[in-house]
Chains A and B, each alone.
Chain A
């Protein structure tokens, strides 16, 4: 019989069952019971594993997210642990001091959880709904564009140039986010458009 048991699959089995079977087979029933009483189940045995890539530098180490709950099945997923992906050719399971603490970033106390607004001259933020925030942005973009877009230059050449609105994009987002962002930003005529590659 050829069982292709992955390393993580083995860990799951080991966590759940090794203590009982091996001791039980040798007849140490009392020892078995005592052992089982204080051996906890392997914490990650019931988690969902997701392949991901470290969000920090461009070495782009493979990582595995361990979550309680399965997003793909439509469940809410709570991130419990992140570790290096042993199958990844670049990092082969290892992580640096930043990657090893990735979970603390995802679950940082200073993660933003709701839209906020700061009024002129105010000394603190106040809550605002998504709808209100997005409408406010759309209005501001359109008003600025209508007032300041340079449609044609002095020679009459169509230039569709908007210099009074600018956009800095995030180089930790995905290519797909980047492309969606590119389309929206350039269709507005925005020319002041950069990402962290400029720094």
Chain B
């Protein structure tokens, strides 16, 4: 989230599209209710199902799964055509006036530079025109044919209301009504918030869905303002934190990137991360990359990291491909290229698409290690459970170790919420039996491997032997020790750069902010964005002052929010060019003539002159990007792409299947289904009574939703002879499931490209372990393909067939 849960109360319009907050985030959704009740805010829901959020919405429109880009580009077209643009914001805070290279273009659904063989674009032309002074060329009049504004106008021109209706199945009058409601928030004193979740991410073009809404929000001037923003309603309690700390195949902590083997040494690695400003006077905050990186390396290797050895750069793993994401690892497993796999609190067998492939992948491992508080299907993938897990145990040679771990009630530490608050919690129960914390287990594994290398020698022992591990009890580091390491400290006494007699921080003290980090090895700090969380004042994540003197839902002294305890990102953009809030009744910060001040921590240097320094300080332009240059693999603007399995051809280019740059492995292409054999669109979803595959272990939740079902419309039920509550078989090109049929009015057939499109909803919560009845999930059926940028699987739109099943089955 750019904003926070409590900030939603400041909004005038909530758009829930690509999520279902009332169902999946009920206590956060209360802030929508608060805004509706106290501000008269309106709620719009756009979803394939008339879902729980829709049931309390002011306005609802259906949409075909996988067609969101067409809807969003259509909305942008409407805003432009009707001049619903926050012009002062757009002119000054976006790249709308920047000139783009002459050779950039778009045709037949594709951008310039496509290489069919590589399934990739040559992005050379996706760039600004740069002047001799090194700055990007601009045209403030917005008349130049190559300025972003004119390219954007041309790009969205095809997305007429008729096009949207035809592709999305959204009735034209509903689409137009929603555009009108959204358009009102182009006023500087009106704002809209976007709340989305996996309904937007789980597509082969998920990143472009989100980008489409971000662009719309920028045109309306709704980013950085109270009650506005792009708000990802994240899933697990610390999915934000695990991403922040870089537990992703392509990341280091704090969104620094894993080195590639084309960057053989530290100097080369840093050379492409200079982030020189692209416009005069801009902060381009990533210019500090080196300080964050060196501090991180000092936390990782301690004294062993020196200027002489590039801070231990050689010891970091180097990538030869963009990422070894989970789906690539499973693909490698099926080829026998992986021997050993750890699943720490991750029920992978039920989480990734094409479960048959997952079982095959795990069956080729030598050893699987599972750490979990609960029995999981993953740890028992080799157990035969009839139709629910039809495997031949004797033929599966994989060894499995299942290790019992503690859960939240038995451990201590911080988790990060959607709004980036790091909240500390304490243990209140003794672990059951011999269950141990994950930290203890990881420390044990490390200590034992380290001992083996010390005793036996072996390949490249340096990174293992040199890892900083100076905890009081090396067998079990405490949460506080690890948190202090994430924050960072002064390794030498730090002096003021401007006045060398002035001590900034004494040796050994915790850093109070990432501004104190140095690139000369005198500071540590494992995750720069967390610096400030555990300072000499103590553990700021444990703060519990719930006062909110501004009444803006800021809660500045409750826990700690990254970065720098800032609650609303880009909040400089909540003020006009002179630093006055767009809306005097909703003030977060303002320029008082000398500095920026207010209820929130300003997202800009406090003394930065408002007319000189742009609000988007992380970008070298100082502005936000309507044209995203080379940052996304599938285009600098979102363009409509069909799902890989779709009931209609892409009207922009009937030859194009799915996202032309999404990765597909050879065997998975052969397992794609066709609309003639699989005429219906399946989409996965969640239920308020359940959390993923955990709560089926609870008697209480298992009672409230005991049994796997699929949801279909009355029309589809009639067409296929399916009765309410009857058994059905649902199958795709990859697998089959049996379920109870829930026949509702919540799903209605759509008309797209002149044909009737039926949608089948498939909830995710069942398996063969726990207290609920055994069942299935959509991952048995879904295709093994992910988003072109980040490899999130396409669970929200794929093709299936359905028929009544005999009562005896399942």
Contacts and interface: CB of A to CB of B under 8 A. Distances in A.
Interface of A: 48-62, 65-67, 69, 71, 76-79, 82, 87-92, 94-102, 104-106, 108-125, 128, 130, 133-142, 144-146, 148-149, 151, 153, 155, 157-199
A183 to B, nearest CB: 6
A160 B317 contact: yes
Contacts, number: 499
B300 A134 contact: no
Given A50-B428, A57-B237, A120-B397, 13 more contacts: A52-B409, A57-B236, A77-B430, A118-B399, A137-B401, A146-B458, A174-B238, A180-B482, A184-B442, A191-B324, A192-B324, A198-B790, A199-B352
B555 A134 contact: no
B384 interface: yes
B402 interface: yes
Contact of B239 (A58, A82, A91, A128): A58
B264 interface: yes
Contacts of B400: 117-118, 125
B237 A53 contact: yes
Interface string B190-202: 0000000000001
A198 B352 CA distance: 10
B413 A177 contact: yes
Given A121-B394, A123-B383, A170-B438, A55 B407 contact: yes
B449 A65 contact: no
A188 to B, nearest CB: 7
11 contacts: A59-B5, A108-B374, A109-B771, A113-B404, A123-B382, A123-B394, A166-B341, A168-B348, A171-B236, A183-B300, A185-B247
A195 B247 contact: yes
B407 A105 contact: yes
Contact of A166 (B342, B423, B482, B699): B342
A71 B429 contact: yes
A7 to B, nearest CB: 14
B211 to A, nearest CB: 18
Given A112-B435, A191-B317, A176 B486 contact: yes
A123 B384 contact: yes
Contacts of A101: 695, 698, 700-701
A175 B527 CA distance: 10
A188 B464 contact: yes
A181 B457 CA distance: 23
B691 A98 contact: yes
A198 B429 CA distance: 31
B241 A174 contact: yes
A187 to B, nearest CB: 4
Interface string B313-333: 011111110001111110010
A153 B427 CA distance: 46
B792 A199 contact: yes
Interface centre among B240, B241, B372, B546 (most CB of A within 10 A): B241
A102 B697 CA distance: 11
Nearest to A64: B428
B385 to A, nearest CB: 11
A142 B433 CA distance: 29
Contact of B546 (A87, A94, A149, A175): A87
A198 B245 contact: no
B246 to A, nearest CB: 6
Nearest to A162: B317
Contacts of B351: 196, 199
A167 B242 contact: no
A177 B249 contact: no
Nearest to A122: B393
B367 interface: yes
Given A112-B373, A123-B394, A160 B430 contact: no
Given A167-B342, A198-B325, A111 B317 contact: no
Contacts of A110: 374-375, 697, 769-771
Interface in B754-784: 769-771
Contacts of A88: 546
Nearest to B381: A118
B433 A114 contact: yes
Interface stretch (B25-33, B97-105, B114-122, B172-180): B25-33
Interface centre among A71, A112, A164 (most CB of B within 10 A): A112
A153 B339 CA distance: 21
B238 A172 contact: yes
- Which range contains the number of B residues in contact with the other chain? 35 or more
Nearest to A87: B546
B241 A69 contact: no
B245 A182 contact: yes
A168 B237 contact: no
Contact of A189 (B236, B245, B317, B346): B317
B524 interface: no
A166 B407 CA distance: 23
Contacts of B5: 59, 90
Contact of B27 (A59, A87, A112, A181): A59
Contacts of B244: 175
A130 B436 contact: yes
B118 to A, nearest CB: 21
B300 A144 contact: no
A104 B700 contact: yes
A199 B366 CA distance: 25
B417 A60 contact: yes
A123 B27 CA distance: 43
B701 A97 contact: yes
Contacts of A116: 401-402
Contacts of B611: none
Given A89-B548, A140-B340, A192-B329, A184 B317 contact: no
Interface in B382-433: 382-384, 393-405, 407-418, 421-423, 425-430, 432-433
A113 B432 contact: yes
Contacts of B482: 175-177, 179-180
A182 B246 CA distance: 8
B345 A172 contact: yes
A157 B393 contact: no
A179 B464 contact: no
Contacts of A58: 25, 233-240, 416-418
B402 A77 contact: no
Contacts of B697: 105, 108-111
B594 interface: no
Interface centre among B238, B339, B690 (most CB of A within 10 A): B238
Contact of B485 (A142, A179, A195): A179
Contacts of B422: 175
B718 interface: no
A67 B402 contact: no
A197 B247 CA distance: 9
Interface centre among A133, A173, A190 (most CB of B within 10 A): A173
B243 interface: yes
B444 interface: yes
Given A96-B27, A160-B463, A56 B237 contact: yes
A175 B320 contact: no
A80 to B, nearest CB: 9
A165 B329 CA distance: 9
B247 A97 contact: no
B281 interface: no
A180 B704 contact: no
Interface centre among B31, B237, B327 (most CB of A within 10 A): B237
Contacts of A65: 409, 428-429
A133 to B, nearest CB: 5
Contacts of A191: 249, 258, 317, 319, 324
Nearest 5 CB-CB pairs, A to B? A170-B345, A113-B433, A174-B413, A50-B428, A65-B428
A112 B402 contact: yes
B597 interface: no
Contacts of A180: 438-439, 442-443, 477, 482
A96 B792 contact: no
Given A89-B558, A97-B688, A137 B407 contact: no
B349 to A, nearest CB: 11
